[in-house]
Structure 1
Amino acid sequence: MSIQQITPKQRGYLIVNSHPSGSEATVDRQWQRIEPSAPAAGRAPVALVLGASAGYGQALLLAERYGPVDYLVYSLASPRRTDPATGEVHHSVIKPLGSSYTSPSLLFEDEAPRIGTVDLTPADEAERAATVKVMGGEDWELWVRALGEADLLGPGFTTVALSYVGSEITAPVYRQGTIGAAKEHLEAPARRLQDGPLADRGRAFTVVAGAAVTQASTAIPSIALYTSLLRIVLGEDGWHTTDDQAVELWEQLTGAEPLSLDEQGRIRLDGWELDPGVQDRVRELWADPAAALAADPAAAAWFYNQFRQLYGWDVPGVDYTTGVETSVPWPE
């Protein structure tokens, strides 16, 4: 038994601890929001999600406990990566390419949101290449090939890698920056896998998701502000949560709904975000973001709250004043 009263350890958007009861409540709420699907006939499908835990270690339970994988979802984002072939450690950077970038950004100081300015110098070629090494598609391809060599590809195996395109508003720091270079590299293995190790054995797709509040998105300049303004435009009813997008993706992968592919063969989940009318309204708010948030201060508070709940903080109904058990066994 190890009961402690836990308080958040946070600096800006960096949170280095979580609350067990709050995290449990967050997952339970997600579970309750998602409608159950019909039971699968025969063996229940096995889905391996890379990026849903703190590291690769949990995946090594795989062969003994679950057997062949039917769905592999690759959703990793990291500031660094060790090349398994050379042992070299590469570090990613979030910078524009070609020219400097200056833009408004949402900052949190003492939990009070305010509009600040971010100034970024362009990345050099070494930084661009390192970011591609960290966040590109190399590991995704290695995982699929390793599963194939271990005879762990289930019949009709499907793998997807989550990507993002986003708005032209954030394009200079995202799609046209070092992250965009990595995303372009990430999208290439789908074609190589389809024509190579998965030929006649399965499918590989890149999935372009919509905007979301994630640990990765908080670290990218301007994304928090853009997402907050997008939420103002869409409201609660028009916003697509990560739960909504996961369900939509699952229905397409299982054949419950037809695949929504673009001209590059990517599954698109971001139509609600990139609707021209929605983007026109976001651009209007982006012209004076301080005024937009002053008129609707709950938008920035919403983003901050959603981010904190990723770690089990600020979850309604959770008592943070009492001690909780911090030594929690892995579920059977």
Structure 2
Amino acid sequence: MSERVITPVNRGFLFLDAHPAGCRATVERMWDSVSPAPRAAVGAGEAPTALVIGSSAGYGLAATVAGLARHGVRGVGVCLEKAPGRRTGTAGWYRTAATADLAAAAGRDFAFVNGDAFADEVKGQVAALLAERYGKVDYLVYSVAAPRRTDPETGVTHTSVLKPLGGPHTTKTLVFEGDQAQVRTVATDPASAADTAHTVAVMGGADWRRWIDHLTDADLLADGFTTAALTYIGSPLTAGIYRNGTIGAAKADLEATARDLDSLLAQRLGGRAVTSVNAAAVTQSSTAIPGIALYVGLLRGVLGDAMVSPTAQLTELWDQLTGTAELVTDDEGRVRLDRWELDTSVQDAVAARWHDATDETVPELADLDWFIAEVRRLYGFDVPGIDYTAPTEPDIPWPAL
């Protein structure tokens, strides 16, 4: 594929192309925001071995970059991205290539596997790579957000849904018509029992547990092995469609899985399993949830730069996992990185703005410019310092194993 000018083409919050240079610059800025851990640098043989499932986007990308830049982890990232072809590659394809280059430049030994994390074939490929090149795993971070999953045992494909439980739900949401933001009311019918079961099968703890079982069978878990699955609780303003909906049922299953795994790993390896409750952010997954766009825009309007980035949150998580800082959990065994978001004064301020938000008032109540720019930056656009009029090469190779 020859160099060409890549311009944004989108359908709502979904962009059909990604900009390689913008995606690279985004990862570089993430890396530069992370300071090395406050301890002597470790040699390659002493660096902890990590496995990040869902390493190319959102909080999974933040986990990968923070682990590499701060703690010098070695190991494997797993994600599913599309190669350049008739269109550009996916944004995660280019972010992964950039992460691999930064890791290599910093002397980190980290490989990336492109495949369906739900598939046993990919688990086997990763296990073989670990056994050949890295040895036993010290840390596993699980951050998978996918719309569907095929169960390897039954062959059944489950598709998740965004629906409330128990009854219909109506919420405000934010849509964009051209350059104009509009506040709309969206009604969603309640989930059936099958809807909930499918969503739990996709987004609950089943695949996380399967990864642990697979690595256990391959004798690839180190003594003291620690694993964290990333989750979200969120505001009462979004609870009807999120925490009290089908996704919430899946997150409850994820947290129950963490408790089971924690007991099991403690007995077998002196290890731990936790969920990490992260705070709101603009991600490719979150923009699909009704109400989240409006909520995050209003949250930014209240907090401005005091919002804590995913990279900063995951840096804090890595510090707790590695013992650089004390590992602190709530009564449910969850690491809470969302306390700044759920602070009562913050939530009261956001709730007042939510109540007052209309087409006319939302530009003053929410930071819409920031929100739109964040969405575009997910795909490598609107990144400072990038000349978007210049031709760029979209045919970037996947990092060699």
What residue ranges of structure 1 are gaps of 5+ in the alignment? none
Equivalent residues in 2 for 1:216-295, closer than 5 Å:
216-236=285-305, 238-290=306-358, 292-295=361-364
Residue number in structure 2 paired with 1:205: 274
Q: Look up the equivalent residue of 1:52 and give its one-letter code.
A: S
Runs of 4+ in 1 over 4 A off after TM superposition: none
Partners of 2:266 and 2:206 lie apart in 1 by 16
Partners of 2:394 and 2:365 lie apart in 1 by 38
Partners of 1:93 and 1:130 lie apart in 2 by 8
Residue number in structure 2 paired with 1:120: 188
Equivalent residues in 2 for 1:95-106, closer than 5 Å:
95-106=163-174
Partners of 2:374 and 2:136 lie apart in 1 by 35
Partners of 1:134 and 1:196 lie apart in 2 by 23
Task: Say which is worse superposed, 155-164 or 31-40, in terms of deviation.
Answer: 31-40
Partners of 1:158 and 1:111 lie apart in 2 by 46
Residue number in structure 1 paired with 2:397: 329
Residue number in structure 2 paired with 1:86: 154
8 Å CA contact 1:70, 1:154 repeated in 2: yes
TM-score by length of structure 1 reads 0.94
Equivalent residues in 2 for 1:155-194, closer than 5 Å:
155-194=223-262
User: How many residues get paired?
Assistant: 330
> 1:300 deviation in Å?
1.6
> 1:162 deviation in Å?
0.5
Per-residue CA distance 1:247-271 (angstroms, 9 max, x = gap): 1111111112112211111111011
Partners of 2:19 and 2:5 lie apart in 1 by 9
C-alpha change, 1:65 and 1:5, in structure 2 (3 Å) is: farther
TM-score by length of structure 2 reads 0.78
Partners of 1:9 and 1:217 lie apart in 2 by 20
Partners of 1:223 and 1:45 lie apart in 2 by 36
8 Å CA contact 1:213, 1:303 repeated in 2: yes
Partners of 1:311 and 1:258 lie apart in 2 by 35
In angstroms, what is the RMSD of aligned CA positions? 1.8
SS of equivalent residue, structure 1 residue 295: helix
Query: Of 123, 136, 143, which residue of structure 2 is paired with 1:75?
Result: 143
> 1:9 deviation in Å?
3.1
Residue number in structure 2 paired with 1:3: 3
Partners of 1:300 and 1:231 lie apart in 2 by 9
> 1:168 deviation in Å?
0.8
Per-residue CA distance 1:199-232 (angstroms, 9 max, x = gap): 2312110111111111111010001111111111
SS of equivalent residue, structure 1 residue 215: coil
8 Å CA contact 1:113, 1:301 repeated in 2: no
> 1:67 deviation in Å?
2.9
Query: Of 45, 48, 52, which residue of structure 2 is paired with 1:45?
Result: 48
Residue number in structure 2 paired with 1:57: 114
SS of equivalent residue, structure 1 residue 186: helix
C-alpha change, 1:203 and 1:4, in structure 2 (3 Å) is: same
8 Å CA contact 1:217, 1:223 repeated in 2: yes
What residue ranges of structure 2 are gaps of 5+ in the alignment? 57-78, 81-112, 116-121
Residue number in structure 1 paired with 2:99: none
8 Å CA contact 2:230, 2:278 repeated in 1: yes
> 1:275 deviation in Å?
0.6
> 1:287 deviation in Å?
0.7
Percent of aligned pairs sharing the same letter: 52
Partners of 2:186 and 2:14 lie apart in 1 by 17
> 1:322 deviation in Å?
2.0
